[in-house]
Amino acid sequence: MNNFSQVLREFYQREPERVIVTLQHPNQPDYGITYRELVECANDYAMAYAQAGIQPGEVIILILQHGKDLVYSYWGAVLLGAIPSIMPFLTEKLSPERYRADLSALFKYTRPTAVVTYPEFEAEVHALMTASSSTVREVFVAGRIPRQEHLDFDHLPGLQRQATDIVLLQHSSGTTGLQKGVALSHRAVFNQLDAYSAAIRLTQDDVIVSWLPLYHDMGLIACFLMPILRGVHVVQMSPFDWVRAPWRLLRAVSDYRGTLTWLPNFAYNFCAQKIRDRDIEGVDLSSWRAIINCSEPVRFESHQMFYERFQAYGLRFEALQTCYAMAENVFAVTQNDLNQPPYVEKIDRQAFHEKHLAHLALDTRPALYMMSSGQVLPNAAVRIVDAHGRDLPERHIGEIALKSNCMLTEYYNRPDVTRKAFLPDGWYLTGDYGYLAQNELFVIGRKKDMIIVGGRNIYPQDIESLACEIPGVHPGRTVAFGIFDPLQGTEEVALVAEVDINDQAEQEQIADAIRKHIAKNSAIAIRYLRLVGPKWVLKTSSGKVARSANKEKFLREFGEEFGIQDTQLS
């Protein structure tokens, strides 16, 4: 079978009553969706799209909360042969003005012809269409899609799509702004699912349990497309419900005998610290055969914390696994062998920081624990390259370059950005630093000073620009960077801002204004904020902020003040 719709038709005809998705909502009975309901309700959306003149190959943006309509509208776009793209919806943590500006920028490049949203957001979409030269021709509202009496596969254009046609867009979201749209073909997704399913030994006896948002590749591919296209039951809850009550994940694993879950690194620490015994009384986690750490650099300490907290509930240490993935490769690049725990090694701290080498540490030398993200999947190849694209030897730290049979077709409507992402010989530059050793890939972090907070990509320049909007802060004289918090298992954001004011009370007012402004406009909080005098911030010879040098200066001068131990990775 060459496309998604053909697979869906096969399951509909062969196993129509098979429950494939179970949706969980607090204080409501769990809702199971069979292949029959999925296809027939997706057909309702497909017909509504078609009647509005939406054509195969056009982009449909989905701005919906966790629930049935997100499932149906997505697969309705697939059945029509359109290109669905799920976007985050507006929450109380986001500034409506900032969010509207982000959507406007997204529409400029993606040029969608339709938006599907919930009733409370309908006015926002119409306002955006009026205020800009939007290409959106129709806004569909969940709950107002007419039911269809008949399902005729012969009249669904999605079944005629070619393997090389684009089937979906993935948009990664930073603190502000919606980033490049990753365009993926049917063939690329199938190649990924074939390789990754084999790596994790996926069968239809598996049960995936997830709280991950579907606008992130880990949630979309591993916990939505893969189970539905492979006939594997998936239990889904809202990320907002999970963060308010993380015990729900463990309870769902126990109730449904869940076998597979994907988590960003911070979630291991979060669960270990926030879940109370009284909330998981009687929970049995022995069915979990793999909890796969993905989306952030993986931390051995986080696995230890999670295991020690939940081993009494049947959790096996071998179930704690690792993976390296990215939207541009559909999802997984590597996967640890599920037969054994991830490989962990101690490397020399000084050689790591000063020489960018991952030498094994002697017993007497200060060391860092590094945990492997696993071995490269058979359909992919990885190189470590220097700034000139030349191969580096084993244990030399450089940029991870990738080639596979499931790479993106393009950054949608961005040929300029697409060209810059590849080396002349066709290798994709990931923007991540890492090293290879004993056929294992170790991921260090982002190349361009990216900060990763709880699985969310934070662009430091966004934080810096927001801080400069506060009166009293020197424009262009701010610097933001990430500092890893071993207790939380994720990075926290640090910000240094230059001011002329020496009065303590006035400085506190400025600091308070900075915190509130950034929290309102970026949905993240500043953990470490330090106001400094003029000329503190270091810049390069070309005038750019030297974030790595500023981080080192911050740790040296203020680390003790904030209680930060000098164990940060550069």
Distance CA 260, CA 335 (A): 14
CB 264 within 8 A of CB 296: yes
Please check whether residue 443 is in contact with residue 473, taking contact to mean a CB–CB distance below 8 angstroms. no
State how far the Cα of 132 lies from the Cα of 139, in Å rounded to an integer: 15
- Angle at Cα 456 formed by Cα 453 and Cα 458, nearest 5°? 75
Enclosing domain of residue 504: 451-558
Split into its structural domains, the chain has a count of 1
Burial of 133 (0-12, 13-18, 19+ CB in 10 A): exposed
- The answer to the question of residue 483 being in a domain is yes
In whole angstroms, give the CA distance from residue 72 to residue 23.
Answer: 13
Which residue, among 111, 125, 150, 210, has the nearest Cα to 414 in the 3D structure? 111
pTM of the model: 0.84
pLDDT of 73 reads 98
- What pLDDT is recorded for position 500? 85
> pLDDT for 471-492, tens place per residue?
999 877 899 999 988 888 888 9
Strand 166-173 and strand 138-141: pairing? unpaired
Query: Among residues 253, 335, 242, which one has the least CA distance to residue 292?
Result: 335
Environment class of 2 (CB within 10 Å of its CB; exposed 0-12, middle 13-18, buried 19+):
middle
Q: Tell me if 531 is assigned to some domain.
A: yes
User: Does residue 239 contact residue 195 with C-beta atoms inside 8 Å?
Assistant: no
Q: Is residue 549 part of a domain?
A: yes
Count of positions (residues) in the chain: 570
Residues of the chain under the 50 pLDDT cut = 173-177, 541-542, 568-570
The 3-state secondary structure of 12-46, one letter per residue: HHHCCCCEEEEEECCCCCCEEEEHHHHHHHHHHHH
pLDDT in the model for residue 541: 41
467 occurs within a structural domain: yes
pLDDT at 523 (0 to 100): 66
* Backbone φ and ψ of 54, nearest 5°: -70, 135
Let me know: does 177 contact 521? Beta carbons within 8 Å: no
Instruction: Give domain status of residue 489, yes or no.
Output: yes
Alpha-carbon separation of residue 466 from 98, 103, 526, 535, 550 (angstroms): 11, 18, 12, 20, 18
Classify residue 123: in a domain, yes or no: no
CATH number of the domain residue 518 falls in: 3.30.300.30
Q: Which amino acid is at 42?
A: A
> CB of 477 within 8 A of CB of 498?
yes
Residue 519 belongs to a domain: yes
